[in-house]
Structure 1
Amino acid sequence: MTMPDAVAVSPRQELMPAAALFHSLSDPTRLAIVQHLARGEARVVDLTERLGSAQSTVSAHLACLRDCGLVMGRPEGRQMFYSLTRPELLDLLAAAERLLGATGSAVALCPNFGTGTVGVRGE
Structure 2
Amino acid sequence: MEQIAADRNAVATATERRAKFFRGLADQSRLAILDALCAGPLVVHEIVGRTALTQPNVSNHLRCLSECGLVTSMRDGRFVRYRISSPRIADLLHDVEALLDAVATGVEACRNYEPDEDEFHR
Alpha-carbon distance between aligned partners in 2 of 1:107 and 1:82, rounded to the nearest angstrom: 31
What is the Cα deviation at residue 86 of structure 1? 0.8
Alpha-carbon distance between aligned partners in 2 of 1:99 and 1:105, rounded to the nearest angstrom: 11
Alpha-carbon distance between aligned partners in 1 of 2:113 and 2:84, rounded to the nearest angstrom: 26
Residues 47, 58 of structure 1: 8 Å contact kept? yes
Return closer, same or farther for 1:105/1:74 CA change in 2, 3 Å cut-off. Answer: farther
Alpha-carbon distance between aligned partners in 2 of 1:13 and 1:62, rounded to the nearest angstrom: 26
Percent identity for Structure 1 against Structure 2: 35
Return closer, same or farther for 1:89/1:38 CA change in 2, 3 Å cut-off. Answer: same
Q: How does 1:73-112 map to 2 (within 5 A)?
A: 73-112=73-112
Point out which structure has higher relative CO (alpha carbons under 8 A, 6+ apart): 2
Aligned residues between the structures = 111
Alpha-carbon distance between aligned partners in 1 of 2:64 and 2:23, rounded to the nearest angstrom: 11
Structure 2 unpaired stretches of 5+: 116-122
Deviates more, 1:30-39 or 1:102-111: 102-111
TM-score by length of 2: 0.82
What is the Cα deviation at residue 106 of structure 1? 2.2
Residues 71, 85 of structure 2: 8 Å contact kept? yes
Q: Which runs of 4+ in 1 moved over 4 A?
A: none
1:1-57 residue CA offsets vs partner (Å, 9 max, x unmatched): xxx7xx731533321111111111110010011011010010100011111221110
Q: How does 1:48-59 map to 2 (within 5 A)?
A: 48-59=48-59
3-state SS of 1:15 partner: helix
As a proportion of its length, which structure holds more helix? 2
RMSD value, Cα: 1.9
TM-score by length of 1: 0.81
Letter in 2 for 1:36: A
Return closer, same or farther for 1:71/1:79 CA change in 2, 3 Å cut-off. Answer: same
Alpha-carbon distance between aligned partners in 2 of 1:79 and 1:107, rounded to the nearest angstrom: 39
